[in-house]
Structure 1
Amino acid sequence: MFPFSEVLPLIFISFLQAFADPAFLFLFLVVFALIAVQYNRMERLRTDFFGVKTRRSGIDILVATGFGLLGGLAGSCLLVFVGLTISGDLYYLWPVAVLLMLVNIRFLCFAYAGGILALSSLLLGYPQISVPQILALVAILHMVESFLILASGHLGAVPAYVKGPEGNVVGGFTLQKFWPIPIVALVVLAGSSIEGSSVAMPDWWPLINPVVQGDLQNLIFMLQPLVAGLGYGDIAIARSPVEKSRLSALFLGIYSLTLLALALLAGQSRIVAFFAALLSPLGHEAVIYIGKRIELKGKPLYVPSEQGLRVMDVLPGGPAWRSGLRPGDVVMSINGIRPLSNAEFRYLMQNSIPPVAVDYHSRSAGTSRSVIVAQAVPGQTWGLAPVPESNESRYLELLTTGPLGRWLQQAWGKFMR
């Protein structure tokens, strides 16, 4: 056995060298392109909301890629430390995950495919996979995701009007993040002694790799790069995007640690393996359910104020932002006129004669202030979104049903008629 510290330089070097491999680079660029499409879609939602092009998708893509590289490096270290090796077992994951995605987009997550494969293997004997290995991979990927959510889940939050549980429309933010994840993992090859190898295996390694039963003398290890993609979707209504992403990261971290512990014990007990397989999809569903329930049952933050017009979001770099207005502030008057509705605010914003004097109450400072909003072009939008009124006709539907899921819903509806 060798110190794990000796493996870290090998992981880092292999991580960098992976991008010199044309096949790996191609796959990474494919995942990068798919993620770029998602961020461009979010850009269109943001543009539609503010009424002006925000031109933030490029920055969002670069930031997500940077965090994805960091997350991939951290995930690589976790994979090697736990002793997870890449084998043919993992090739079952993608087809099952894609099929589940057609039912509901969130089912693309490996937590569902991994749990289904593990249960099928335990109950039916097919496919013949290492249940501990599959579930350990799911746990480690979610550990990486919890770190990425904590660090960047709140960045680029898109404002939206959401229909609450009581049927009223409230303000909120959709938190959608996507990260390209390059990972370096171990591959086990037979037929050679590992004496002199600098790769250290932990004591529990045979538990998640039961095929070798701890016989390491006839194996040699190789670090191999892989490409994955992680995504996060949530909504913030009763909390700010920062507070909600921290809470989501906490829940997901607890889930991943619990699943990893059960995966490590699953090799010794079939009963534990069965509970771990159930926890993979059901625990993930519980994390989503609890997060949404806490948010929808909480007191909404982005609702009208009796003092004036509450600001829900401000576009960075826009006229309102440059004047000092921030989310949560309350606009009390525009050129001495108090806006009584969102429609009146939009009228005053577009038709007031410059210079436009705005009196508002600062949420962060707790004081009232007066500023001049300088528009580059008369009638230009300020890049400011007010909180919704209860009678808003346009709002976001919190649906993630895929094409197959919609077809099943329609077929069931016809059958029940």
Structure 2
Amino acid sequence: MYGLYQIVLFTILDIVKGLVSPFFILIALIIYFQYYKRVEKPIKSTIVSIFYGIIGGAIATVVLIYLRIYILPLQYIYILSISLVLSMMDSRFICFSYGGSILSLISLIFHYPEIDIYELMIVISLLHAIEGLLILINGNSQKMFNIFNIKGQIKDGYEFNRFWPIPFVIFIGDTMIKPFLLFAIVSYGDFTIGRSPKKKSLETAIYLFLYSSFLFIITMISPYKFIPPMFSLIGHEFIIFINKHREKRNLNSKKMIIKGVNVTDVSYIGIGRKLGIKRGDVILKVNHLQLRDKRDFIDLSYKDFNRVKIEYFNHKRGLIKKRYIGKKAPLGIKIS
């Protein structure tokens, strides 16, 4: 067996080579367009995500090589196919734990296709540990203040949207074992009401670490092959249930505090009327500038804009985000 430093070196070389592949470039573009719709600096966010994704992929590769985990090429295709079908029902079902667990149960029940459940469950547990690590060190960096309308209750909080491309090397084959570079996208989409974003991301990371650890241990010691894939499914759903329960409890206890400026009037000639802003609305952001009081808005009220993005809150319709592109004009908004 190669030494650890040699494995790390070969891993990094394989991953670097893969960064120029068309498939990885496509993944990077997908992540860029996800950020383009959400953040002010999508290129920077994409580069940061790729950097942390490479770190996660290198760690995953080293662990898989030392555990001598091998996967048949067809297994990966089966899991990918199941995950894509499931994602049409709900985007969260694209997670490897659903596709891999369902494939394992199908194999156990119908004895086809032949799946090495032990190795597959080890891969799933490891990928979730990497996901927890990335959430811990980078999940909080893309938080956004937002307004949520949940079951008719209006609450303010933070929304998380992070995406990491994970290039990792795994051995595949049956008669001839050879390294193969795979790519995955790990995402962290969540929200929190009434808690600090750091505490929320830390809590989610801990849940994922516990889940991956229990899945790894159960896979190693369980004498029954049905148990690891069943735990993989139930455990993942339990994490989602716990998160929803915590946020529901905060929803019932937290009072609404909207950080913004109140609109008292809207001019007939101005950008505000064109964007549908009305008296009584609350302006939250102008071009990513968070408005906390009247002083934040004074300088903006004297400027003309030919391009502007405004986020405001309407008590009937909730949070609204609008863009204006056109001739230079004032905002035409009076605030209190």
Shift of 1:278: 0.8
1:33 aligns with 2:63: no
User: Does the CA contact (< 8 Å) of 2:154 and 2:256 recur in 1?
Assistant: no
Residues 53-202 of structure 1 mapped to structure 2, 5 A cutoff: 55-88=40-73, 89-164=75-150, 167-187=152-172, 190=175
What is the Cα-based RMSD across aligned positions, in Å? 3.5
Partner of 1:405: none
Aligned residues with identical type, % of pairs: 23
Mapped to 2, the partners of 1:254 and 1:42 lie a distance apart of 30
1:298 aligns with 2:253: no
Shift of 1:229: 1.1
Residues 242-391 of structure 1 mapped to structure 2, 5 A cutoff: 242-265=198-221, 269=223, 271=224, 273-298=225-250, 303-304=256-257, 311=259, 343=280, 346=283, 375=299, 378=302, 391=315
Structure 1 counterpart SS, 2:256: coil
Q: CA separation of 1:246/1:392 partners in 2, compared to 1, >3 Å: closer, same or farther?
A: farther
Structure 2-normalised TM-score? 0.76
User: Does the CA contact (< 8 Å) of 1:311 and 1:385 recur in 2?
Assistant: no
Letter in 1 for 2:208: L
Mapped to 1, the partners of 2:139 and 2:227 lie a distance apart of 30
Mapped to 1, the partners of 2:181 and 2:296 lie a distance apart of 54
Shift of 1:62: 2.1
Answer 1 or 2: which has greater strand percent: 2
Structure 1 counterpart SS, 2:71: coil
Letter in 1 for 2:129: M
Point out where structure 2 has 5 or more consecutive residues left out of the alignment: 262-278, 321-336
- Which region of structure 1 is more displaced relative to structure 2, 100-109 or 376-385? 376-385
User: Does the CA contact (< 8 Å) of 2:18 and 2:24 recur in 1?
Assistant: no
Partner of 2:18: 18
Letter in 1 for 2:36: N
User: Does the CA contact (< 8 Å) of 1:238 and 1:296 recur in 2?
Assistant: no
Rg comparison, structure with higher value: 1
Higher relative contact order (CA 8 A, sep 6+): 1
Structure 2 counterpart SS, 1:252: helix
- 1:211-238 Cα offsets, whole Å, 9 max, x none, are xxxxxxxxxx543221111112111112
- 1:269-325 Cα offsets, whole Å, 9 max, x none, are 2x2x21111111221111111012112212666723xxxxx537xxxxxxxxxxxxx
- 1:234-269 Cα offsets, whole Å, 9 max, x none, are 111121222211111110111111112222335xx2
Structure 2 counterpart SS, 1:139: helix
Structure 2 counterpart SS, 1:179: strand
- 1:10-52 Cα offsets, whole Å, 9 max, x none, are 22232223345xxxx1110111122222222324xxxxxxxxx
Q: CA separation of 1:102/1:83 partners in 2, compared to 1, >3 Å: closer, same or farther?
A: same
Structure 2 counterpart SS, 1:311: coil
The alignment of Structure 1 onto Structure 2 pairs a total of residues equal to: 298
Equivalent in 365, 386, 393 of residue 317 of structure 2: 393
Q: CA separation of 1:223/1:392 partners in 2, compared to 1, >3 Å: closer, same or farther?
A: same
Point out where structure 1 has 5 or more consecutive residues left out of the alignment: 44-54, 192-220, 305-309, 313-330, 332-341, 351-357, 361-369, 397-417
Q: CA separation of 1:265/1:344 partners in 2, compared to 1, >3 Å: closer, same or farther?
A: closer
Structure 1 counterpart SS, 2:52: helix
Structure 1 counterpart SS, 2:203: helix
User: Does the CA contact (< 8 Å) of 1:169 and 1:395 recur in 2?
Assistant: no
Mapped to 1, the partners of 2:201 and 2:105 lie a distance apart of 31
Letter in 1 for 2:60: G
Mapped to 1, the partners of 2:173 and 2:6 lie a distance apart of 18
User: Does the CA contact (< 8 Å) of 2:147 and 2:319 recur in 1?
Assistant: yes
User: Does the CA contact (< 8 Å) of 1:180 and 1:227 recur in 2?
Assistant: yes
Mapped to 1, the partners of 2:282 and 2:232 lie a distance apart of 49
